[in-house]
């Protein structure tokens, strides 16, 4: 093994891009609608269980099951958003109610699936790992990284360079003024929720086949999404990539530099996030503006 540099670079890059895919929808939704949707991570769990249900329990074709699962995740995402907007419109109540929805979904799936251990879904990609710079890498994470990069570029082009993207940005800047100019703010929000839900569902489709399903599996991706968003600056989705890289590289540098310190990498990750909240509350994306 070529020292610790190669695994830090390889895993830092691949997992950084994986974190981008997990966090992109969360930070996009906050950037446009200014609400913290804490039910976001639960959609990851919903997608995973739905793929299992249709592909394994009902025996559907895997790709069809994936399509149905993504559609259901989008439906749940939109439903939760609309209920929160209707009954808990201010940001704090939205945050609380959406978190309650995440827990509600967790307990619903625990009861329905009995929280069974050993639920796994068939993977879309080969499991045998390959070597990149003498570092063992799962094809799952290579594909995930590629998809993350692609979606980030597509999303950036959509928001920055299309007519619809301009209306989205206008809505994000000042929804009341946008509405005065005839922009359908409500439909803009709905489109963003659909995209946001689809993004976390796609992350689940790619990553979950490597994992066992549990009703609490939404917590980790949610935490990643939240920490990446804080580091990048809440709502500044363009800064998701550097924020995710900062998180993943700091984790792997610590992990390989201090291999016997079991939880040190997680401590560092949260330390970095807290540091940004204290020192740079606007995140990386706020540095330029602050100056």
Q: Say whether residue 104 binds other proteins (CB under 8 A).
A: no
Query: Which one of 58-66, 115-123, 172-180, 271-279 is the stretch in contact with other proteins (CB under 8 A)?
Result: 115-123
Beta-bridge mates of residue 204: none
How many Å apart are CA 82 and CA 89, to the nearest integer? 10
Per CB under 8 A, the list member of 60, 99, 156, 256 interacting with other proteins is 256
Tokens 């917590």 -> residue: 219
Q: Say whether residue 57 binds other proteins (CB under 8 A).
A: no
Per CB under 8 A, the list member of 82, 120, 170, 253 interacting with other proteins is 120
Site residue total, other proteins (CB under 8 A)? 48
How many Å apart are CA 142 and CA 123, to the nearest integer? 14
Burial 112-133 (b: 16+ CB within 10 A, else e): ebeeeeebebeeeeeeeeeebe
Site string for other proteins, 14-53 (x = CB under 8 A): -x--xx----------------------------------
Supply the minimum distance, in Å, between the C-beta of residue 128 and other proteins. Answer: 6
Supply the minimum distance, in Å, between the C-beta of residue 30 and other proteins. Answer: 22
Per CB under 8 A, the list member of 136, 162, 177, 187 interacting with other proteins is 136
User: Do the Cβ atoms of 263 and 254 come closer than 8 Å?
Assistant: no
Site string for other proteins, 147-186 (x = CB under 8 A): ----------------------------------------
User: Do the Cβ atoms of 205 and 124 come closer than 8 Å?
Assistant: yes
Counting every residue written for the chain, the total comes to: 291
Supply the minimum distance, in Å, between the C-beta of residue 236 and other proteins. Answer: 23
Q: Say whether residue 89 binds other proteins (CB under 8 A).
A: no
Q: Say whether residue 59 binds other proteins (CB under 8 A).
A: no
Burial of 138 (0-12, 13-18, 19+ CB in 10 A): middle
Nearer to other proteins, 39 or 148 (CB): 148
Q: Say whether residue 109 binds other proteins (CB under 8 A).
A: no
Q: Say whether residue 124 binds other proteins (CB under 8 A).
A: no
Tokens 């509350």 -> residue: 281
How many Å apart are CA 142 and CA 148, to the nearest integer? 10
How many Å apart are CA 184 and CA 191, to the nearest integer? 11
Supply the minimum distance, in Å, between the C-beta of residue 290 and other proteins. Answer: 30
**Which residues lie below 8 Å from residue 286, measured CB to CB, with a gap of 6+?**
233, 236, 280
Per CB under 8 A, the list member of 214, 268, 272, 285 interacting with other proteins is 214
Q: Say whether residue 282 binds other proteins (CB under 8 A).
A: no
Burial 156-195 (b: 16+ CB within 10 A, else e): eeebeeeeeeebbebbbeebeebeeeebebeebbbebbbb
Binding site for other proteins (CB under 8 A): 1-2, 4, 7, 11, 15, 18-19, 56, 110, 114-120, 127-131, 134-138, 141, 207-208, 210-212, 214, 216, 219-220, 248, 251-252, 255-256, 259-260, 262-263, 265-266
């Amino acid at each position: 093994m070529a020292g610790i540099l190669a695994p830090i670079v390889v895993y830092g890059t691949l997992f950084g891009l994986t974190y981008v895919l997990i966090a992109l929808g969360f930070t996009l939704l906050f950037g446009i609608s200014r609400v913290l949707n804490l039910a976001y991570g639960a959609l990851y769990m919903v997608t995973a269980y739905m793929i299992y249900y249709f592909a394994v329990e009902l025996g559907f074709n895997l790709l069809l099951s994936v399509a149905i699962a993504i559609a259901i995740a989008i439906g749940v995402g939109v439903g939760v958003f609309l209920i929160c907007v209707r009954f808990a419109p201010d940001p704090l109540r939205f945050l609380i109610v959406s978190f309650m929805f995440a827990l509600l979904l967790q307990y619903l799936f625990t009861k329905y699936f009995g929280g069974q251990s050993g639920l796994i879904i068939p993977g879309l990609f080969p499991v045998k790992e390959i070597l990149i710079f003498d570092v063992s890498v799962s094809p799952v994470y290579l594909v995930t990284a590629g998809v993350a990069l692609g979606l980030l570029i597509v999303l950036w082009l959509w928001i920055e360079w299309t007519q619809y993207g301009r209306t989205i940005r206008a809505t994000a800047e000042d929804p009341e003024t946008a509405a005065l100019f005839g922009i359908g703010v409500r439909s803009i929000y709905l489109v963003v929720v659909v995209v946001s839900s689809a993004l976390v569902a796609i992350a689940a489709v790619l990553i979950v086949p490597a994992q066992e399903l549990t009703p609490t599996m939404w917590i980790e991706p949610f935490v990643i999404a939240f920490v990446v968003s804080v580091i990048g600056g809440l709502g500044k989705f363009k800064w998701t990539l550097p924020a995710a890289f900062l998180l993943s590289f700091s984790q792997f540098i610590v992990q390989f530099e201090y291999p016997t310190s079991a939880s040190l990498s997680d401590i560092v990750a949260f330390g970095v996030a807290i540091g940004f909240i204290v020192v740079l509350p606007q995140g990386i994306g706020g540095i330029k503006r602050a100056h």
